[in-house]
Amino acid sequence: MSVILAIESSCDDTSVAICNNGKITANVIANQTIHQNYGGVIPELASRVHQQNIVPAVQQALINAKVTKQDINAVAFTRGPGLLGSLLVGVSFAKSFALALNIPLISVNHMHAHILAHFIDDPKPNFPFICLTVSGGHTQIVLVKDYFDMEIVGETLDDAAGEAFDKTAKLLALPYPGGPLIDKHAQHGNPLAFKFAEPQIADLNFSFSGFKTSILYFIRKQEKENPNFIAENLDDICASVQRSIVQILLNKLKKAAKQYGINEIAIAGGVSANSGLRNGLQQTADELGWKIYIPAFQYCTDNAGMIAIAGYQKYLKQDFVGQDVSPMARMEF
């Protein structure tokens, strides 16, 4: 029997979850809207808002899961990677909570947790599987051999896929985070209206910085001819950019599946909420006979449910850390 409280505070969402015997019974996410005023996450502000949100989020999670503090057997927390000031709030809270209740602490790597989110709901992938993890900070193709035996076989050399979405949105004067808004506009646009060249990067790696620049030049050129170009073509621009990003991601995923002879394929991270990627993955799966795994929306973007399920697997192995643990902005995979 185990009840695990999990804390996620690596970026701008404060999230608290409860895992009761392997089932997620609460997943509270307090979003920070303040960053919308600045077009990106302001680390200093994120830390302060985590401070304000963390205790109410814990209280709400306990209520949702119908447990009390005394029922908790261990505290799991995101140690990294992420914004140091944000991580410090979650790690300090987790340590104090564990100390007060005299229960063990479990350290979780945020990127492992995005992948382990696949073990929250059914159907669960079978090992080995390939996971494309696409978020605001990372773009990785990971060969997942076991819960904590994972190997990055491809990654971005510069910007992440989420950044490609967010930076394009900024060019289009859409508020932060722009990914979900591009997705929304794309649903009314023609994905073949405009063409953007696919970066030619060797192996299973990605590059999005040149792609982003090509969109910038394209928009500047079009605006010279028609100052209302963005307003008149917003849906088509979003649909075309989204299609290009999805193609780049899926082409590498196909290459990885072929290279490793694996047809169990998963996607994870904030960008896996993208409808174009979800549909494109389904189509590719139908063509190539893949078994695919896509997390529920609430477990795609940053959430403590994924930290709780990763924590549960570590709890089963009694894999605990001491009170001297500290957060890591960069953390080895």
Q: Does 189 bind ligand KG4 (CB under 6 A)?
A: no
**With respect to ligand KG4, which residue has the nearer C-beta, 103 or 111?**
111
Contacts of 315 (CB under 8 A, 6+ apart): 2, 4, 73, 74, 76, 104, 106
**Residues near 317 by Cβ (< 8 Å), separated by ≥ 6?**
none
Considering only 80, 125, 137, 305, the residue that binds ligand KG4 (CB under 6 A) is 137
Which residue among 162, 295, 305, 327 contacts ligand KG4 (CB under 6 A)?
A: 162
136 is in an annotated binding site: yes
Cα Rg, the chain, nearest whole Å: 20
Question: Can residue 183 be called a binding residue for ligand KG4 (CB under 6 A)?
Answer: yes
Under the criterion CB under 6 A, does residue 165 sit at the interface with ligand KG4? Answer: yes
Compose the 259-278 pattern: x for residues touching ligand KG4 by CB under 6 A, - for all others. Answer: ----------xxx-xx----
According to DSSP, the β-strands at 23-31 and 105-109 are: unpaired
183 is in an annotated binding site: yes
- Give the helix/strand (H/E) hosting 293: strand 291-293
179 is in an annotated binding site: yes
Name the DSSP letter for residue 319: -
Q: Which stretch binds ligand KG4 (CB under 6 A): 95-103, 115-123, 160-168, 222-230?
A: 160-168
Q: Please report how close the Cβ of residue 164 comes to ligand KG4 at its closest, in angstroms.
A: 9
280 binds ligand KG4 (CB under 6 A): no
In what helix (H) or strand (E) does residue 13 lie, and over which residues does it extend? strand 13-20
* CB burial string 161-198: b at 16+ within 10 A, e below: bbbbbbbbbbbbebebbbbbbbbebbeebebeebebee
At position 241, the amino acid (one-letter code) is V
Kindly state the number of chain residues that form the binding site for ligand KG4, as judged by CB under 6 A.
Answer: 19
Least distance between ligand KG4 and beta carbon 24 (Å): 17
Position 177 contacts ligand KG4 (CB under 6 A)? yes
CB of 60 to ligand KG4, least distance (A): 20
Instruction: Quote the distance between the C-alpha of residue 281 and its chain's center.
Output: 17
Tokens representing 51? 């401070």
Q: Between residues 204 and 273, which has the closer beta carbon with respect to ligand KG4? A: 273
Cβ distance to Zn ion smaller for residue 109 or 313: 109
Judged by DSSP in three states, 208 sits in coil
75 belongs to an annotated ligand binding site: no
CB of 31 to Zn ion, least distance (A): 13
Instruction: Using the Cα atoms of residue 58, residue 54, residue 298 and residue 262 in order, give the sign of their dihedral.
Output: negative
User: Is 159 among the residues that bind ligand KG4 (CB under 6 A)?
Assistant: no
Cα–Cα distance between 258 and 205 in angstroms, integer?
15
Residue whose tokens read 């695919």: 292
The reply on whether position 301 binds ligand KG4 by CB under 6 A is yes
Q: Give the separation between CA 2 and CA 319, rounded to whole angstroms.
A: 14
Distance in Å, CB of 247 to ligand KG4, minimum = 14
Structure-block tokens of residue 54: 């963390």
Q: Which is nearer to ligand KG4, 11 or 98 (CB)?
A: 11
Whether 151 and 115 have beta carbons less than 8 Å apart is answered as no
Cβ(14)–Cβ(50) under 8 Å?
yes
Q: Using CB under 5 A, list all residues that contact Zn ion.
A: 135, 302
Q: Which residues carry a binding-site annotation for Fe cation?
A: 110, 114, 302
- Given the rule CB under 6 A, which residues bind ligand KG4? 11, 135-137, 162, 165-166, 177-180, 183, 269-271, 273-274, 301-302
Q: Which residues carry a binding-site annotation for substrate?
A: 133-137, 166, 179, 183, 274
Q: Which residues carry a binding-site annotation?
A: 110, 114, 133-137, 166, 179, 183, 274, 302
